[in-house]
Amino acid sequence: MTSRRCWLFLSVLLAVLMVATPLSAGGGEPIYASTSPHLGYGIMVAYPPGHLGLVTDMGFDWYKNFLLWKDIDKTKGYDWTSLDQRLQETAASGLNLILRVEGPPVWARAWEDHYWAPVAHDKMAAWREFFRATAEYIAAWQADHGTSFRVALEVWNEPNLSFQWGDRAVDPAWYTEMVRYAYEGAKAGDPNIIVVAGGLAPTGGTSDGMAMDDVQYLEAMYDACLAGHFDVISTHNYGFGGKPDDKSWGYGILNFRRAEDIYQVMVNHGDGDKPVWATEFGWLLDASYEGHPECIGYWESIGFAWQRVSPDQQADYLVYAFQYADANWPWMGVMVVSNLDFSTTGWYATCDPLNWFSILKPDESPRLAYNALKGMTKRYRSWEVWGMDVRPPSLAWMMPITGTRRVTETVSVLNTGNLPFTWTVTTSTQGLPFSVSPLSGTADGSFQVVMDAQGLTTGTYTGRITVTASAVEVEESPFGVPLTLYVVPRVYNVYLPVVARWFSGP
């Protein structure tokens, strides 16, 4: 066997730090260091939730369940038994909770013969009072039990589809009325509770009015005075068999990236500072992989067969969906996988698609998707009501006296809480020539720092930027950003040996 040793010398030029590249303020910055963590990792759990331990084992921090008005509002007043159970389970699990609120009592329905009939117009005051009492009860329960998990109330489910609207033609103005009354009631009960509107199903709509394009439906909601009556807009951006990043899939409508179109409507109406939550999304597992090829024919008959994916694809697409949203959608908040365990309940026929969106098998063992999501790297956002971070937290430069120059850096003011705020900037200097613009902005905005070292002599120059939030509740405010410039006499080259060996056969 022969071998050859080749010594390569890499010139590591310390002047890399001297040509206006900032010195590191510390290692280990996340991949998307320009944005703060903004996702919530959630999953929908069958009623009643019996697998919350598996949710926490996945490293998720939210779950979604259900709150039925008819179960609370009894003839002799409110009975909070079912809500107590959800709150107790949530507190024990360490999770946060989304409650999808639905199921009006018969007397409050617009037509009595359908569970999904909307709230009657003349019963809206009772609907508002129910939300007020619910929010107030949750806040009091948490105070009594010393807990602080987040609770969000999602108003209804997929109102742009007729089967979730009492099998009648859908009505965005009517649904918006329900949202407005719900929001007013909830905020009267607890100003910090999160109110989620929408739950819209991606669809192109039908000419008979029994389904309405979700983007057009949201536009109609704004026309009906939605603005100012929600904290979050939710969408059900299922993958429909396509890859998470494929915007052309499903005629450009039935795909995971449909969430972008929903957000664009919000931007167009001045609500770009509010988040979208994906309160249902997932991929349909091909049942033939688990010994049920007969399901494919049934799915063909109901228009689902084209959506099916392999176990590997279900796992890969779910993980990539979170990664894609983290990297590309700073406006996305909680993402709720549909679903964990509907397959284990025994409520649904073998070929019901709900069983095959599940990431547990009927025997409660994990599918590939469960393990993939469990092993997925997660960047949790803070769910504090108020919070601020400034990135980078400091700036430092090193330049040779022969190469001083003007540099520009961007500093981001990030909202790590739930409520928006504005900020202002002040500066001070000890010889460091720099300027900042703009001097004010909104959370998740940024400002530029221009530092001009031209003409400076050798030495150390410092300055400081102070970012102050408008809301006194922001504990991180004021936030100091130190600035340091080192002007040095000369550049040194350092040579490091790198050993490379090539081996060939005899």
Return the sign of the alpha-carbon dihedral for residues 383, 388, 394, 395: positive
Read off the pLDDT of residues 135-193 as tens digits, 9 standing for 90 and up. Answer: 999 999 999 999 989 999 999 999 999 999 999 999 999 999 999 999 999 999 999 99
pLDDT, tens only, 360-412: 999 999 999 999 999 999 999 877 778 888 999 999 999 999 988 999 999 99
Q: What pLDDT is attached to residue 55?
A: 98
Q: How far is CA 191 from CA 37, 62, 87, 185, 209, in A?
A: 24, 21, 19, 10, 36
Q: Cα(432)–Cα(404) distance, rounded to whole angstroms?
A: 13
Q: Is the pLDDT of residue 28 over 90?
A: no
Do the beta carbons of residue 14 and residue 491 sit within 8 Å?
Answer: yes
Question: Whose CA is closest to 320, among 377, 254, 252?
Answer: 377
Comparing 189 with 420, the larger pLDDT belongs to: 189
How is residue 102 written in tokens? 């639905």
Please check whether residue 268 is in contact with residue 275, taking contact to mean a CB–CB distance below 8 angstroms.
Answer: no
Confidence of residue 299 (pLDDT cuts 50, 70, 90): very high
Q: What pLDDT score does 491 carry? A: 55
Of 198-212, 384-398, 489-503, least confident by mean pLDDT is 489-503
* CA angle centred on 285, ends 279 and 290, rounded to 5°: 140
The answer to whether 209 touches 170, Cβ cutoff 8 Å, is yes
Q: Check residues 438 and 414 and name the one with the higher pLDDT.
A: 438
Segment 415-444 mean pLDDT: 91
Residue 27 has pLDDT above 70, yes or no: no
pLDDT digits (tens, 9 = 90+) for 71-119: 999 877 999 999 999 999 999 999 999 999 999 999 999 999 999 999 9
- Cα dihedral 245, 250, 256, 258 in deg (nearest 10): 110
326 pLDDT exceeds 80? yes
Cα distance between residue 59 and residue 39, in whole Å? 13
Instruction: Name the residue with higher pLDDT: 6 or 187.
Output: 187
For residue 137, the model assigns a pLDDT of: 98
**How confident is the prediction for the chain on average, in pLDDT?**
90
More confident residue, 51 or 404: 51
Cα distance from N-terminal residue to C-terminal residue, the chain? 4
**Measured distance CA(223)–CA(217) in Å, rounded:** 10
Give the distance from CA 461 to its chain's centroid. Answer: 41
Q: Where in the chain is the domain with CATH 3.20.20.80?
A: 40-375
Model confidence at 57: pLDDT above 70: yes
Q: Which class for 423: exposed (0-12), middle (13-18), buried (19 or more C-beta within 10 A)?
A: buried
- Eight-state DSSP code of residue 360: B
Half-sphere exposure of 4 toward its Cβ, with a 13 Å CA cutoff? Answer: 5
Q: Which residues contact 450 (CB under 8 A, 6 or more apart)?
A: 406, 407, 408, 434, 435, 436, 437
Residue 129 per-residue DSSP state: H
| Percent of the chain residues topping a pLDDT of 70 | 90
Q: Is the pLDDT of residue 465 over 60?
A: yes
Percent of the chain with pLDDT over 90: 82
Q: Encoding tokens for residue 138?
A: 């949750």
The CATH superfamily assigned to 2-29+386-493 is Immunoglobulins (2.60.40.10)
Superfamily of domain 40-375: Glycosidases (3.20.20.80)
Alpha-carbon distance 147 to 450, whole Å? 45
Amino acid at 497: P
For residues 93 and 55, give the distance between their C-alpha atoms in angstroms, rounded to a whole number: 9
Residue 490: pLDDT band (50, 70, 90) is confident
> How far, in whole angstroms, is CA 4 from its chain's centroid?
54
> Strands 40-44 and 332-337, how do they pair?
parallel
What's at 41, amino acid-wise?
A: Y
Q: Which two tokens stand for residue 468?
A: 């102050």
The stretches of 291-367 forming alpha helices (DSSP H) are 294-302, 311-328, 353-357
Is pLDDT above 70 for 23? no
Integer angstrom CA distances of residue 124 from 100, 108, 154, 175: 18, 8, 17, 11
**Lowest model confidence (mean pLDDT) among 119-128, 162-171, 238-247, 467-476:** 467-476
